Structure 1
Amino acid sequence: MRTVCFNGHPRLEHELRCRQCNEPFEIVPEGKFYDDMDKNFNYISRWVTLGEVRTPVVKINNDLSFKLDYFSPTYSYKDRGTRNLISYIASRRKELNIEMINEDSSGNAGSSIAAYGISAGFKTNIYVPSNANPAKLKQIESYGAHIIKVDGSRDHVQEEAEHAEGFYASHILNPEFRDGIRTLAYEIFLQGKMPDNIFVPISAGTLLSGLYSGLTHLYNSGEISKVPVIVGVQPENISPVCSFINGEKYDPDNNLSSIADALVAKRPVLMNKMIKIMKNGNRCISVSENEIITARKDLALKGFYAEYSSATVFAAYKKSHFEGSSLLVLTGNGLKN
């Protein structure tokens, strides 16, 4: 494994941003792929688990499948990254003298960090926007985490969490979180024939970058002959990546919100990384609020109860024309709304 910033500079200690260029870091997997997935993360010596399973893939027809990634302990894909990050922190707890961890999140990541953090024995603080989804706050509180509401933008919430006393367990900046999402690519590979296209919602960039890393590792290991096209999906109201890629006008200072409340990063920290991934043969589609609402209803009528943010991928699939088979990752359970 190599840990380097997005410009290739090595990580010296445990810093979250490169001291030369201020870019975040990423873990680059090297060597062969192991079917025993934990062996692909050789920097972790103690695994913290809440009974994760390989989430189901349901085939709808020859061209369409859903991966139900909300079959996770806290009902969202974020558990993939959290399991990895909290396990890494727990493995180095004494070395780094960590007893209290802080995270900033609008909902799903906060719930995930709270659950795994308490399981590992950490005191956990979750910093949230003052207008965060009340249902998601209740889930966070149920795990015993302390919630700190912050007025202002999403950036203000991050600043408060990052500079608070304790270890900043950011799901965005800690490369171990994003690296854990490699398991999504591995599972898709182990569960049958690789699809031609994989649809995922994107916001902060953790899901996109982790999936891309895992797919690239499989390709470099000779396990797959081509990398599927990743189709990133954003709500039209908050679409910094899709707007940039598709040459559309976008104002990051707009006052718009979205019913897809997990996809609200207007100035994502990982923007440069996401653009680089998108330009490497991938696609980005934005969907309207009405399209999201309709897609969620249509999913429910098929028996799949997803949150609005997850339904964006079905909305994008219905308005797109891609050759070959497509797999849509449903990232969060509908009960979260």
Structure 2
Amino acid sequence: MKDDHSSTRACDCRESSPDRPCDAALAAYRRALVEGDLPQDEVPGCLRSLHLVVEDRDSPGFMIPISPETASFAALGPIEEALARQRRNLRSARAALSVFETLYADVHRQEQPALTRLTGHAAISRALDAAVGSCHEELRTAQPGGGRPSHVLGEALPRDLRTLQRGVRQRTIYQHTVRTHPATLSYIEQVVAAGAEIRTLAEVVDRLIICDRDVAFIPFSEEPNTALRVQHPALVRFLVKNFDNAWARSVPVSPDEAPTRSPVITSDLQRTILLAVVNGETDASIARRVGMSRRSVAEHMRRVSAQLGSNSRAQLGYLLATSGLLDP
């Protein structure tokens, strides 16, 4: 008799499911129990694979049923043995890898790459999770682009709360425009309640993440899903100083404040927009710079144009440069 252990199904007919045989198999087993045996050609394959029938030595060509309890030793034994073998292999592989992990750490502790390009969302996420998970003192982040998408905030919130619960100081700089973005404000309220510090600026140059003073992450290029991991002490120190300078110029966010902009923030935003106009930037470029829509940028420019009596963009740039509105 040939036992079929290659199939994961209890029966090979169309009516069976992975964990329940078909009615024909159940009927055949019942008939075998009642009649005492069955002709071999009338025994479904699943009864053979589960070892529920064996050849009748006294009646060649017939098979007799046995109890499921007895069949379980033959049916389940090889599976349990395979699982035990896999567990032994797992322990052996884990032990061997730990030796190589020690060797790897020893070598890279002495000579670690100062700059590493990361490509792809998965690679960047793994590197960030490892760095943030190893952060012990302070996490500094700068987030450009105004309000962040809800799904991004949903992924970031549990990770940031875990970091704060470990006693890590977390400081984040956003752009002023997040103060009217409900999803980002909700996220800010929760992390501030857990101990985070949030401030805003009119302009955040680019995304930045610094873990302690050991490693930093910055965009590698304009291409999406590319990042640069920085581990050179001098470069990380430079990025820390830039962050701290921006932090000193930023405005704290109070979780219980109304979602409006104060005169200081409104003036800061308007000054940044008008300076960009004087420098000849387009509406789209200015919108990206301050993290707001092109329509909002155009509305700012319309108001100032009406105030100065400007009839063209070129004239507006000249009047702004000579009016004193942009003086410190």
Q: Pick the TM interval, shorter chain.
A: under 0.3
Q: As a proportion of its length, which structure holds more helix?
A: 2
TM normalised by structure 1 equals 0.26
TM normalised by structure 2 equals 0.26
